Amino acid sequence: MRYLTAGESHGPAQTAIIEGLPANLLVQNEAINRELARRQLGYGRGGRMEIEKDQVEVLAGLRFGRTLGSPLALRVLNKDHENWLEKMAPWGQLPHSLDTVTQPRPGHADLSGALKYDVYDIRDILERASARETVTRVAVGAVAKELLKVFEIQVYSYVQAIGPVTAQLPVAASVVANYQAVETSPVRCPDPVVATQMMLVIDDAKAQGDSLGGVFTVVATGLPVGLGSHVQWDRKMDGRLAAALMSIQAIKGVEMGDGFAAAARPGSLVHDEIFYNSSTGYYRKTNHAGGIEGGITNGEAVVCRVAMKPIPTLYKPLNSVNMADHTAFAATVERSDTCAVPAAAIVGEAVVAWELALALREKFAGDSLDEMKANYRSYMERVAKR
């Protein structure tokens, strides 16, 4: 199973093609649109969210709400494109009257991308490097969630820190058990007192023309033992999840389970002891490993903690150098968020859902959903007897 995306921030649309889904999977239009709407929420978002009201269109691969086994093509229109028809025209010559972008912004792909691809208009780079690209990944993740749901696997997210404000939250399972508090919070923090403090520091950053990053957690529950593998480096489930999460714009750190905190503790306080019950089988009372041991899911909840840097476009511009004449300048401001951590958490859910769905397809295969379910049942029955 694989997918590709295409689209520029101010182009006509964002597009994704998913290949390898089993036939007869029910995909609900409302489920995808709900995820797209969740991505647009969050305290500290910028003006683009007031323009775009993302809705998915299905161009291929679905009939009467069920997958055909052929590629599934999805499209989300960019409503702001109508204001960029001249600047983003696919045909013709670059008009002399059109100003080219030659001033790279610190923290963006502008300079590195322009040098790598040998372009003189940085817009060729920034349009694709934009976080607008994540709309397609959220749509793809929504489809992945539809597959995971069949196997009673759920993916959640919440925000633990924004800037200097950090919530001292209970274990992930407790947060998930009270998840409504997350979904109703403007910053996706289940602690209402800390959530208020987070909004205040966002307000302060906005007033200063600055931006804030933070930390969010993604949790997946209901996973079977055995997704991923220890036999090759690129099959390890934690490695795959880390790579997927690091590929999200502005993400600078990922840890599984206790992560870096485990490095400061003795092994007796890090490794999860194993127990057995005749009715439930093997289990653990703790989950320091974050649900993955040796690159393989162990049946506990998968817990990924993710660090996001502050949005690099600031209303208090940083210094840079014009590529046209090497003169110094203060970086230009494109429409930007003050804080996008709550929205990034939704993107985090999407990429985790995709990687887990991909591993599920690898493990249980099947051209149709029923064939895949039969393979899953057979495997789970065998595991239960051990």
Rounded mean pLDDT of 157-179? 94
Rounded mean pLDDT of 269-274? 96
Superfamily of domain 2-384: Chorismate synthase AroC (3.60.150.10)
Other Cβ atoms closer than 10 A to 239: 16
Q: In which band, very low, low, confident or very high, does the pLDDT at 189 lie, cut at 50, 70 and 90? A: very high
Nearest Cα residue to 161 out of 309, 336, 45 = 309
Rounded mean pLDDT of 87-115? 90
Selected residue with higher pLDDT from 86 and 73: 73
Rounded mean pLDDT of 379-383? 95
Rounded mean pLDDT of 202-215? 94
Does position 52 have pLDDT exceeding 80, yes or no? no
Contact 135, 8 (CB under 8 A): no
Contact 251, 245 (CB under 8 A): yes
Selected residue with higher pLDDT from 311 and 167: 167
Q: In which band, very low, low, confident or very high, does the pLDDT at 317 lie, cut at 50, 70 and 90? A: confident
Q: In which band, very low, low, confident or very high, does the pLDDT at 385 lie, cut at 50, 70 and 90? A: confident
d(CA 101, CA 332) in angstroms, rounded, equals 10
Report CA-CA distances (Å) from 306 to 38, 196, 222: 18, 21, 21
Beta-carbon contacts of 320 under 8 Å, excluding residues fewer than 6 positions away, are: 103, 104, 105, 106, 111, 328, 329, 330, 331
Does position 173 have pLDDT exceeding 60, yes or no? yes
DSSP conformation class of 322: -
pLDDT of residue 97: 75
Does position 336 have pLDDT exceeding 80, yes or no? no
* pTM score, whole prediction: 0.95
Rounded mean pLDDT of 7-29? 97
3-state secondary structure of 76: strand
Rounded mean pLDDT of 357-368? 98
d(CA 98, CA 87) in angstroms, rounded, equals 7
Selected residue with higher pLDDT from 109 and 332: 109
pLDDT of residue 96: 77
Q: In which band, very low, low, confident or very high, does the pLDDT at 386 lie, cut at 50, 70 and 90? A: confident
Contact 348, 306 (CB under 8 A): yes
Strand (E) or helix (H) holding 57? strand 56-60
Q: Write out the E strands in 163-259.
A: 165-166, 214-221, 225-228, 251-256
pLDDT of residue 98: 83
Does position 53 have pLDDT exceeding 90, yes or no? no
- Please report, for the chain, the start and end positions of each structural domain, with discontinuous segments joined by +: 2-384
For residue 29, which amino acid is it?
A: N
pLDDT of residue 344: 97
For residue 358, which amino acid is it?
A: L
How confident is the model over 130-152, as pLDDT tens digits?
Answer: 999 999 999 999 999 999 999 99
How confident is the model over 281-308, as pLDDT tens digits?
Answer: 999 999 999 999 999 999 999 999 999 9
pLDDT of residue 190: 95
d(CA 76, CA 12) in angstroms, rounded, equals 9
d(CA 352, CA 155) in angstroms, rounded, equals 8
3-state secondary structure of 170: coil
Q: In which band, very low, low, confident or very high, does the pLDDT at 184 lie, cut at 50, 70 and 90? A: very high
Does position 333 have pLDDT exceeding 80, yes or no? no
Rounded mean pLDDT of 166-188? 93
The residues that bridge with 165 in the sheet, in sequence order, are: 162
d(CA 294, CA 296) in angstroms, rounded, equals 5
d(CA 289, CA 297) in angstroms, rounded, equals 10
How confident is the model over 41-51, as pLDDT tens digits?
Answer: 999 876 555 56
Does position 93 have pLDDT exceeding 70, yes or no? yes
pLDDT of residue 51: 64
DSSP conformation class of 144: H
pLDDT of residue 192: 96
d(CA 146, CA 133) in angstroms, rounded, equals 21
